[in-house]
Amino acid sequence: MKRLALTAVGIALGVTVGFAQDPVKSNPKHYHVLVDNAQVRVLHVVVGPGEKTTMHEHPDNVTVLLTDGKIAFTGADGKSQTSDSKAGQALWSGPQKHMGANLGTTALEAIVVELKGAAAPKATLPTSRPNMSRTVLLENPRADVVKITADANFKEAPGTTHDYDQVLIALGPTAISLEVGGKTTTTWKRGDVAFIGRGEKHQAQNVSGKPQEMVVVAIK
Q: Are 85 and 71 in contact (CB under 8 A)?
A: yes
Residue 3 domain flag: no
Q: Residue 63: which pLDDT band, with cuts at 50, 70 and 90?
A: very high
Rounded to the nearest integer, the mean pLDDT of the chain is: 90
What's the pLDDT score for residue 122? 79
Quick one: 111 exposed, middle or buried, by C-beta within 10 A (0-12, 13-18, 19+)?
buried
H helix count then E strand count, the chain: 2, 17
90 and 157 both lie in a single domain: no
108 and 144 both lie in a single domain: no
What is the CATH number for 52? 2.60.120.10
What's the pLDDT score for residue 183? 95
138 and 195 both lie in a single domain: yes
**Amino acid found at 130:** P
Q: Residue 4: which pLDDT band, with cuts at 50, 70 and 90?
A: very low
Mean pLDDT within 135-160: 96
141 and 102 both lie in a single domain: no
- Per the model's pLDDT, the better-predicted residue between 120 and 152 turns out to be 152
38 and 84 both lie in a single domain: yes
Indicate the residue among 63, 90, 115 that finishes a domain: 115
- Sequence length of the chain is 220
Residue 175 domain flag: yes
Which contiguous run of DSSP H or E holds residue 5?
A: helix 2-20
Q: How far is CA 109 from the centre of its chain?
A: 11
Mean pLDDT within 140-167: 95
109 and 173 both lie in a single domain: no
Residue 120 domain flag: no
88 and 137 both lie in a single domain: no
107 and 148 both lie in a single domain: no
Q: Are 217 and 165 in contact (CB under 8 A)?
A: no
Kindly report the backbone phi and psi dihedral angles of residue 74, in degrees, each rounded to the nearest multiple of 5, phi listed first.
-120, 125
35 and 111 both lie in a single domain: yes
Residue 6 domain flag: no
Q: Determine the structural domain holding residue 80 and report its residue range.
A: 27-115
Q: Tell me how many domains the chain contains.
A: 2
What's the pLDDT score for residue 10? 36
Kindly report the backbone phi and psi dihedral angles of residue 12, in degrees, each rounded to the nearest multiple of 5, phi listed first.
-60, -45
